[in-house]
Amino acid sequence: MKPKKSKYPQIEGLRITDIAAEGKSLGKYNDMVVFVPHTVPGDVVNIQVNNKRRRFMEGYVLDFVEYSPLRTEPFCKHYGECGGCKWQALPYPMQLEYKQKQVEDQLRRLGGIELPEISPIIGSARSEYYRNKLEFTFSNKRWVPRSEVAEGAAMGSGNALGFHIPGMFDKVLDVEWCHLQDEPSNAIRLAVKRFAEENGLEFYNLREHQGLLRNIIIRTSTTGEVMVTVVFAREDERNGTLMDFLTKQFPQITSLNYIVNSKLNDSIGDLEARCYSGKPYMEERMEGLRFRINPKSFYQTNSEQAYNLYKVARDFAELTGEEVVYDLYTGTGTIANFVAAQAKRVVGIEYVPEAIEDAKQNSALNGIGNTLFFAGDMKDVLNEEFIARHGRPDVIILDPPRAGIHADVAATILAAAPARMVYVSCNPATQARDLTIFDPAYRVTKVQPVDMFPHTHHVENVVQLVRR
């Protein structure tokens, strides 16, 4: 069958010259920007355009005419098909350079405020096997890689247990080996796939919502503990056969759980996680503190680098032991508990009630008695009445989601007038927007980027603000 002819042009000999803010490599064709994934500056490529807008085009590589001298050999066989680790072909020191540039460009261009010299980015000690959590999806229609299509393989043939193809909810790449998480992650995933196929456990059909196996979540910790959570589509007597297999085959699993999700979407936040064997939690340790992580808990996915991130946040807070600290978007209270020993009192607020229960539990586990945690929508909880009841904050630490903070929250923070703020962000663009709101009352005094996710364009950034 002949491939369908594209309505967009092919471009020959396009030279890749730079990397844009969102991690997309680019070149120019007739003064128009062309974004091309899986390339690095210095590559010369022939491409097929697959998207055209008024100011830019997007395309994919047909052939490499010339390889950049900067290029490094990708370490993963799934590079180019999988949606993760898109910067594998870029040497890690250069990844850090571009992330530093991204932070500087976005804060200066989008924020437009006076900034101090931005500190050099803190790189991750490990650029492979650094994640403590991965979620894999079962599918009965395997995504067929381009190399197999070229050899005549049928589309959608076979089962897959792996990652979604970017932008395609119903397409899953079968992962043979992932370089993101330490063992026994790969061994567990491969054994589960083999056992399921040998025993007729149906992989999920993501379009028709039929089948038994939906997801498997594997978590590892620096303490050597392993948590596995299997998500089934329904109650079934065969569920126990897979769970028994995991129990016997992998004695290193310290927490084995399952969730039944009969909904049309994959979200599990509103579903019960049931412990099948071992403990209903795993533990992570940081600077002598113990943190219990439940199957649905949030914890930074790069444990070792999270420690560096939290140390920066604590240093920027400049606590003396006399301050009332508000930790906004506290999650499971990791930062709140981490800084509690240097504060008079820490008040944490988070939207997810289960996360707040984890935060309270972690305080109790570590004998921390000067923390208070509250659940609710930030813009509703954080108000003048709340502040009057719990004390006006001397320092505010905030680590919001990618969208940044709500305007009402910013207004309340400004009214509270803390002496200092520490703004931790996973999105320097929305951070820059929020800094402009604070600029009339606060000046930015320190900026520290931290790389949590090697081989991706994502970067964390910590900013200290001091009241003018």
Residues with a known catalytic role: 426
* Residues in Cβ contact with 129 at an 8 Å cutoff, skipping those fewer than 6 apart: 179, 180, 181, 182
Alpha helices in 250-398 (DSSP H): 303-317, 334-339, 353-365, 378-381, 384-390
Residues 450 and 122 sit within 8 Å (Cβ to Cβ): yes
Strand 324-328 relative to strand 345-350: parallel, antiparallel, unpaired?
A: parallel
Reference 390, options 398, 381, 377, 399; nearest CA is: 381
465-468: long-range pairs with CB below 8 Å, 24+: 465/420, 465/421, 465/422, 465/423, 465/435, 465/438, 466/419, 466/420, 466/442, 467/417, 467/418, 467/419, 467/420, 467/441, 467/442, 468/440, 468/441, 468/442, 468/443
Instruction: Give dist(CA 26, CA 56) in Å, integer.
Output: 10
Count of Cβ atoms closer than 10 Å to residue 224 Cβ: 11
Q: Which 3 state secondary structure label does DSSP give 104?
A: helix
Which 3 state secondary structure label does DSSP give 135?
strand
- The SS3 of residue 398 is strand
136 touches 202 (CB < 8 A): no
Strands (E), 54-174: 56-66, 133-139, 160-164, 172-174
Q: How far apart are CA 191 and CA 69, in angstroms?
A: 40
CB 426 within 8 A of CB 402: yes
